[in-house]
Structure 1
Amino acid sequence: MPAQAVQTPNDAEGCVWLDLLDPTPQEQALAEQLCGQPLPTLADLNAIESSSRISVRKGAAFLSSPLLKKTGTEFQTMPVGFILTEDRLFTIRFQSYQAFEAVTQLVAEQAPAMPAMPATGAAAGSVIAPPHGVVFHASEILVTLIETIVDRLADILESVGDLLDTLSHDIFRQRPQTRVKRNIASWQRDLLQRVGSSGSLCSRMRDTLLGLERIALFLSESRKAAAAAPAPGSAMPVLSVGTRRITPATPGEEEIGPAAYTLPGALRARIATVSRDLSSLDAYLSQAQDKVEFLLDATLGFINIEQNGVMKVLTVVSFIGVAPTLVAGIYGMNFRNIPELNWAFGYWYALGLMGATTVLPLLWFWKKGWLGGIS
């Protein structure tokens, strides 16, 4: 069966994957009825504690992670929730992601040919049945989703590398000397904004990779966790008193035998490969963050050089005005016994002295190279 809208419990009969895209309260309630327990809300998915992002209740695994998405030229993150039960996968998201659409298209291509039903609701269910009669398990859909998301994140990281290379070229390239000061200031402001955007993108990417790494680690060790589950009656009572909406298991609900979210061997191998891919992406991201810090220091260094050049000019201008002012102040004093007072060339002598005290410092500054290269 292809993807279709789920508006009643009967519509979800046999569905393996139930996807909630920005669900309404009615759709959230219907999904909770199908799941048999409360589903996390947007506030629950935004929680940053590890115990809130990965928890188990009544045999179902509640997983969540922030997910990075590119919208135009901007990047933003929104939380995505995965609830894996014994026979169904519930996904909760609040914006569209290309990875989800790609997986939906992938399973639709492998589904038997039959009339497509348009999905008109925010909660859509899919019965994933290939032509050969092998029905995909919910855990396989989850692993496929995570693999596709990691592939998309790798593409974004590749674009980040190209972005940083372009930014590095723009920072260190030779600028034309004819550029006016206001254009230089605008150029520097644009560089700082681009460096800041790159740093924000790397930070959002790290949050996404960290969340996915936790999910991959949990799924890869699910068999070990299930094997360590206590036998009936051997565990201490578990209190369900708490302030969180998603609470631990209540007494009598301890896991017995393999958990429903335990992955088979082939899927554990795939999720282990995903973990290695995430580790390599994390290493690449660390290198990108180091480069962002380097480019930020370089940009600030060039700005300081420009400011030092401006201050140098101001210092020279202020200094060459000190000596002429001193000469004018001396000969402007109203004393009777000034030697040059009655001298016929005293006025021209004073003007020449002021001119010399202006030109000589300029020549000295020019010889030192303090005036060269200042545009």
Structure 2
Amino acid sequence: MINLFTLVNGRLAQLDEAAFAALDAAPPVWIDLVDPDEADLDWVRNHFDLAVPDWRALGDIEESARFFEDDSGGLHLRANFLIERDGGYANVAAAFVLRDGRLYSVRGEESPVFRLLRLRARSRPGYVENALDVLLELFAVDVEHSADALEDGYRELEGISKMVLGEKLSDTQAGEVLQRIAREEDMNGRIRQNLMETRRAVSSLMRGRLLDKEQFNDARQIMRDIDSLDGHTAFLFDKINFLMDATVGFININQNKIIKIFSVASVALLPPTLIASVYGMNFGHMPELEWRWGYPFALGLMALSVAAPFWYFQRKGWLR
């Protein structure tokens, strides 16, 4: 799918299919390709003489090839954008080409960052004025989206904290908590990776001396926002580790309680076992045969030998 956008009265306006033939009258400032097929790629190649990067191979691009200039003067840039997927978050790669005052973008799927940028640019005059503004605002909106995802992580971890620290945690609940903590750790890692990719892309633009003074200040603000979010991701990692350790500690406590029951039972049953062993020996003379209360006495002694350890354990507080 191809989306073409031009600037009309300071606003970003989308060109429909009927306007494709009138590109000279309304030259696009941004050509956005989402999961393009061969017909879309041929259309861009014929109208703009541009070989669109293969979006399917974006994940295999070498680190040194993420920012470079081709022979025709086109600036190639690669970055990741955060999207929601399957109840969590994922990073989707996107490729950009800046040439002849136009921004070409290609990606495999739609992203809320691109939708939000289009919405703002349509309703705010002067929000973007050229292709570089569009690219910088994409990165700025992506940082905002990462901040929103971190807020979701704060709320989720707050609920997990109440579950872990506010009540007695069973093994079943502990298993559920560990799953939720693992999802939050994965989410936080993806956000941190996305921020790192955005920092590298913006830093490449700043080093490339392509930005004017106002755009350079915007890029510096984006970098400051990323630095502030890095502190939040580090805090979330620490909180995740604390909740993980606390949950594992509660699991160990539950297991120790079970082991303690078996330990107490085995210790309490040792004395009656010894008494039964003594009375089971083959003596030549057995007093129980002559004493009427011999066997009741033996049974009572065995019961007393069981009660004595439990009384001692209870007094020491080991049965609580």
TM-score interval w.r.t. the shorter chain? 0.7 to 0.9
Instruction: Give the C-alpha shift of residue 140 in structure 1.
Output: 1.1
1:82 aligned partner: 96
Contact preservation (8 Å) 1:8, 1:30 = no
Q: Does 1:40 align with 2:56?
A: no
Q: Does 1:208 align with 2:194?
A: yes
Of 111, 116, 132, which residue of structure 2 is paired with 1:139?
132
1:119 aligned partner: none
Of 22, 32, 36, which residue of structure 2 is paired with 1:19?
32
Q: 1:131-173: per-residue Cα shift (whole Å, max 9, x none)? A: xxx9932111111111111112112212222222222222111
RMSD, aligned CA: 2.5
Contact preservation (8 Å) 2:94, 2:105 = yes
Q: 1:163-204: per-residue Cα shift (whole Å, max 9, x none)? A: 2222222211133xxxxxxx8122111111111111001111
SS at match of 1:46: helix
Q: Does 1:54 align with 2:100?
A: no
> Which is further off, 183-192 or 352-361?
183-192
Gapped runs of 5+ residues in structure 2? 1-5, 7-12
Amino acid at match of 1:172: L
User: In 1, distance between residues paired with 2:260 and 2:269?
Assistant: 15
Of 288, 305, 308, which residue of structure 2 is paired with 1:357?
305
Contact preservation (8 Å) 2:55, 2:95 = no
Q: Could you say which structure has the greater relative contact order, defined with CA pairs below 8 angstroms and 6 or more residues apart?
A: 1
TM-score (norm 2): 0.86
1:327 aligned partner: 275
Q: Does 1:294 align with 2:242?
A: yes
User: In 2, distance between residues paired with 1:275 and 1:285?
Assistant: 15
> Which is further off, 263-272 or 163-172?
163-172
Contact preservation (8 Å) 2:143, 2:222 = yes
Q: Does 1:368 align with 2:309?
A: no
SS at match of 1:171: helix
Contact preservation (8 Å) 2:56, 2:108 = no
Instruction: Give the C-alpha shift of residue 343 in structure 1.
Output: 2.8
Of 108, 113, 124, which residue of structure 2 is paired with 1:99?
113
Gapped runs of 5+ residues in structure 1? 112-129, 176-182, 224-261
Equivalences for residues 62-73 of structure 1 within 5 A:
62-71=76-85, 73=87
Contact preservation (8 Å) 2:69, 2:75 = yes
2:14 aligned partner: 3
TM-score (norm 1): 0.74
Contact preservation (8 Å) 2:82, 2:194 = yes
Call closer, same or farther: CA 1:51–1:7 in 2, change over 3 Å.
farther
2:172 aligned partner: 186
Amino acid at match of 2:199: E
Instruction: Give the C-alpha shift of residue 348 in structure 1.
Output: 0.9
Instruction: Give the C-alpha shift of residue 82 in structure 1.
Output: 2.0
Provide the identity percentage.
Answer: 29
1:255 aligned partner: none
Contact preservation (8 Å) 1:45, 1:53 = no
Q: 1:264-307: per-residue Cα shift (whole Å, max 9, x none)? A: 22111111111111111112211111111111111111211121
Instruction: Name the structure where helix makes up a greater proportion of residues.
Output: 2
Instruction: Give the C-alpha shift of residue 314 in structure 1.
Output: 1.8
SS at match of 1:80: strand
Aligned length: 306
Call closer, same or farther: CA 1:30–1:335 in 2, change over 3 Å.
farther
Instruction: Give the C-alpha shift of residue 34 in structure 1.
Output: 4.8
Q: 1:300-335: per-residue Cα shift (whole Å, max 9, x none)? A: 112111211221112112222222222223222334
Q: Does 1:218 align with 2:204?
A: yes
SS at match of 1:65: strand
Contact preservation (8 Å) 2:143, 2:226 = yes
